[in-house]
Amino acid sequence: MNIIRVHGGHALEGAVEVSGAKNSALKLMAATLLAPGATTLTNVPNISDVHVMGKVLKGLGVRIDVLDEHTLRIDTSTADSWEAPYELVAKMRASTAVMGPLLGRFGRAKIAMPGGCNLGARKIDMHILGLEALGVNFDTDHGYIHAAAPDGLTGSMVSLEFASVGATENLIMAAVRARGTTIIDNAAREPEIVDLANMLNEMGAKITGAGTPVVTIEGVEELHPVEHRVIGDRIEAGTFVVAAALAAGDAGVEVLGFSPVHLGMVFKKLELMGLRYERLESGVRAWRIDRPAPTDIQTLPFPGFPTDMQAQVMALAALADGVSVITENIFENRFMFASELVRMGANIRIESHHAIVHGVERLSGAEVVSPDLRGGAALVLAGLVADGFTDVSATHHIRRGYERFVDKLTGLGAKVESLSLPDPEDD
C-alpha cells in the first residue's frame, strides 16, 4: 500500500516551479492527430494521466518519442485507427478528447465511455449534441460511443447549454477541419482552451474568440505539425499557494512557472481570507495566514472559482476564525474529501451541494484516504499543519495530476515522504 506520510509543523520556504498544465497537455496531445507528421510538445508534465493519453494515442497507431522528461515528439503520420482502447479510456475522462480530432482526421471515431475520478455522472451529452450539429451521427452500445460523419463535417451554429470545457474542446478540434464556419456560443473560457486554440492556429487553423463566450472556427483543408510549449498548471500553482498560506515561513514561498491572471478569482478569495502575496515575473511570492478569515465560495466555470481548487481552500477554511460556506456547482460528488478532513478534526457539515465549514484552531494527524486527485493533494496540505503524522493512502489519485508532489514539498522544507506499507487486507 503506497502512502504519503506528512509530519506536521515544519515551515515552508524557498521556491517551487510548477509543471505544465495537465488539463492543457492532454488536449494538446489529442489535437496532434489533426496534423499528420511530428509535432513536438514541450513543458509536458510527467504524470500518470499523460502516460495514459500517450498509450491511447499509441493504440491509434501514433508514434511517441520522449526527447526528455518534459518533451514529447508525437508523430501522427502513422495513425491508422479511429478506435480508442476501452481499457485506457475507461481510466481517464480526458481521453474522450480524441473524439473531435478523430472525426476531423478520419470522419469517424469509436470511443469508450469515459472514466477518471469518481466525481459524478459527468455526461457527455453536450459533446454529442454539438457534434451532431456538425453532421456527426452517434450510436452507443456495450460501453462504446460510435461516431461517424458520412457526408463530412459541416460548419454550424452550436449553442452550449452549459460552458463545458470538454465539449468546447471537442467541438473546436472537429470544427477546424469542417466545411464552412462554426460558431460556438456559450463556449468555455478556460486558459487551457486558449492554449489549445493557439496551438491549432499555429498549425494553420483559423480560430478567433478563444477565451470568450463566442468562438468562431473557419474550417481549413489541412493542418501542419508545429512545436508548442504547454502553459503552466494554474491548479498546481494554486495548490502550492494554499500550502504557503497554511505553512510558509517569514520569507514566504515563491510559486513560479504560471500566469497569476489564470487564478484571478482564487487570489481574490484568498486575499479575503488574509493571504498576502506579491506578483513576480513568472508567478507570485505568498506568505502564511496566521488565522484565516472565513469566506464563502461558489465553484463556477472560468473566470469563476475553479472546482479543482475547492478542496485545497476548504482545508484552509477548516482553520478559519469563523464559518465558511462552500458551494459546489460543477461536480456533485466533490465533497467526499470533507469526511476525510473531519477525521483530522475539522468541523464540516454537508447539506446537498453546500459545505458548511466551522473553523477550528488546530487539526490532528490521522490516517486518511485520498478520494480523488485534488482532494488527495488537499489532505497532504492539511497534514502540513496538523499535529503529529498524517498518512494519506490511495496516492495514485495524486500522481494523476501532480508531478513529483512529495519532492517539491520536501524541497520547500516540508517533512513529507512516500512509503510502501504492507496492505492490512493481506494479513
| Residues with a known catalytic role | 117
List, in sequence order, every residue forming a beta bridge with 138; answer none if it has no partner.
147
2 assigned to a ligand binding site? no
The alpha-helical segments, DSSP class H, found in 142-301 are: 165-175, 191-202, 234-247, 264-273
Query: Strand 2-7 vs strand 415-420: parallel, antiparallel, or unpaired?
Result: antiparallel
Among 399, 368, 353, which Cα is nearest to 120's?
A: 353
- Pairing type for strands 38-42 and 227-229 reads parallel
- The residues, ordered by sequence, that sit 6+ positions from 125 with a Cβ below 8 Å of its Cβ are none
Neighbours of 146 (CB within 10 A): 15
Residues 6 or more apart whose CB falls under 8 angstroms from that of 227 comprise 39, 40, 41, 42
Q: Which helix (H) or strand (E) holds 408?
A: helix 405-411
268 is in an annotated binding site: no
> Is 91 annotated for ligand binding?
no
Q: Determine the Cα–Cα distance for residues 289 and 277; give it in Å rounded to an integer.
A: 11
Is 427 marked as binding a ligand?
no
Q: Residue 391, annotated ligand binder?
A: no
Question: How far is Cα 104 from Cα 147, in angstroms, rounded to an integer?
Answer: 11
C-alpha cell at 249: 515561513
Round to whole Å and give the CA distance between 207 and 182: 10
Annotated binding site: 22-23, 93, 308, 330
Annotated binding site for UDP-N-acetyl-alpha-D-glucosamine: 93, 308, 330
Binding site for phosphoenolpyruvate, by residue number, is 22-23
